A and B are shown apart, each in its own frame.
Chain A
Amino acid sequence: MKYLLFVLLIMFASLFKAQAKVCELPESLNGITFLFNISTVYSPSNTMAGMLLESTFSDKTYTIEVLDTGEAFTGSYDYQRFLPKFARFNVREGTGANLALYSKTLVCKTNRMGFVIFSLRQGPEQVTAPHDIGTYVIKSVQ
């Protein structure tokens, strides 16, 4: 009986260890500040390539600043975590002709960082980054 308990304990511990390696994305973005680095190469059709963005989320709204240029935008978002390691937020920025709808799909590597795919659904004509890829870092959690 003791042996059985011991074996079970070891099995449980190893299971726990195996699971601990898998990262998790936050359940909510409220109070979180992200850094996004767009890692694709610059081209006339992708003027955001290589840039660094900082984004801070509150309950339903967020602000995003392109650190390279100082441009800042605000908008509303909704966040959906499909799996602990895999989530997406949809964003609504601006109004009328300047309305931009896009989503960022996040897959974590560790609890602090991972990769992101940016995809624009609808946007003003001057937006020239319809589809992009990059890395993200969670800079701070309030």
Chain B
Amino acid sequence: MDHCYDYFMGGEFLKVLLLSGMMLFSLLAKCIAQECQLPISLVGKSLLLRVYGLPSQSNPYADNIIEMFFKEKSYLSKVLKTGEIIGGEYKYHRYERDLAEISVEEVKEGVRAHYTETFVCQTDISGYYIFSTFQGRVKPEVRQNTGRYIFK
């Protein structure tokens, strides 16, 4: 009898475990569904970057809006206030659903610049980004700034 009892309880226990597992899973799925996500690829997308901060030597593009257009491997970025256009090559990597980075290399006036933009989404079309550079035409070379991004 004891064995039967154990077996029965074991089965109940499994059912409870399964049920709670399912509940946990649906809760998790709901939780994930509420989260924003960044695109898997930037190809064909147009991105607006609003640069926060006050214009200074270390933040020359502050208070500007930059628009970026992405193709397969290359991109064009346009500083909307001045009309300045710069192009180059980029790599996009989505590390998590809500976290991605583009790594950019551009050459202008014979000087190679390398920078990254790290994106954390707030909604599926907007969020904050961190711009970070260590090498480039604009001095000082080590610069960082932040702002809002919007996919147009």
Contact = CB atoms under 8 A, between A and B. Distances in A.
Q: A and B: partners?
A: yes
Interface in A93-142: 103, 105, 107-110, 114-115, 117, 119, 121-122, 130-133
Interface residues of A, number: 26
B132 A18 contact: no
B122 interface: yes
How many residues of B sit at the interface, in one of the four size bands? 20 to 34
B98 A21 contact: no
Contact of A121 (B35, B144, B145): B35
Nearest to A108: B132
Which secondary structure characterizes the binding site on chain A? strand
A69 B107 CA distance: 48
A82 to B, nearest CB: 5
13 contacts: A22-B134, A23-B134, A83-B101, A86-B118, A88-B95, A107-B132, A114-B130, A115-B132, A115-B144, A117-B120, A117-B127, A131-B127, A131-B128
Contact of B118 (A107, A110, A130): A107
Contact of B144 (A22, A103, A114): A114
B20 to A, nearest CB: 16
Nearest to A110: B142
